[in-house]
Amino acid sequence: MTVDMQLSVVIPACNEAHCVGPLAREIRAALAGRGPFEIIVVDDGSTDGTSEAVTSVRDSGVPEIRLLRHSRRVGQSAAVLTGVRAARAPWIATLDGDGQNDPVDIVTLLDALAAQRDPQLKLVMGQRIVRKDAWLRRIASRIANGVRARMLRDGAPDTGCGLKLMHRETFLELPHFNHMHRFLPALFRSAGANVISTAVNHRARTHGTSKYGVWDRLWVGVVDLFGVRWLIARTPPPIQIVEQ
């Protein structure tokens, strides 16, 4: 175990055999010279050889990579939780396994965290200013973000962005449920943490297909909103405990 490791990069991946290898190499290049780190790929029940692609890139020059496998597909939130639980560093960077998030922006998030000098800042969100998705997906995302922002008042313009930098201990203290990754800003704020967003790049998908239907994601997200709003309303505000 590396004692001074400060960053674990967690990648949830399902049927991304063509993407995980190049993505891991990009992450290694982006983080070179910034201290020890690890890359944790969580294979969420893939059937296309994703795990084999991860072990291949590890054996061919990316020793920082670790592979965790789910025996069946259980979803992105569960995959992120698996990776965070296994992580060895106090800070977690997440990004999607499809290659649309630019690994260089992990450094962008790290720099944004350092610039704030705020001990209560526990979540830095990426914000995709120029989306490289189909127009229908962009519209659905805009609607979902607008409804979520109005109901939860979380102050986050793009919760669907896979690029995030979060404090591991704070994340593990949150309630965990399916689709929770879409509501992290609201959940972190309800725990008394500060949250900021910063602009990041977004790239077109070059391999594979999205694992979510546009309208399925939209309507499931709206239903989840009511559950998250109920949960936050019943979460007592954080308190400070002083031993005397």
**Mean pLDDT of all residues belonging to the chain:** 87
Residue whose entry in the numeric block shows the structure tokens 């313009």: 157
Strands 91-94 and 7-13: parallel
pLDDT tens string 29-48: 999 999 999 999 999 999 99
pLDDT tens string 46-96: 999 999 999 999 999 999 999 999 999 999 999 999 999 999 999 999 999
Q: pTM for the whole thing? A: 0.84
Grouping H, G, I as helix, E, B as strand and the rest as coil, residue 186 is helix
Residue 164's DSSP bridge partners are: 94, 125
Kindly write down the DSSP assignment for every residue of 142-164, as one continuous string: HHHHHHHHHHH----S-TT-S-E
Tokens at residue 57, please?
């890139």
Sign of CA dihedral 125, 130, 131, 136: positive
3-state helix, strand, coil in the chain (%, to 5): 40, 20, 40
Could you list the beta-strand ranges (E) of 54-200. Answer: 65-70, 91-94, 121-128, 164-167, 194-200
All domains in the chain, ordered by first residue: 7-233 (3.90.550.10)
Average pLDDT, stretch 200-217?
68
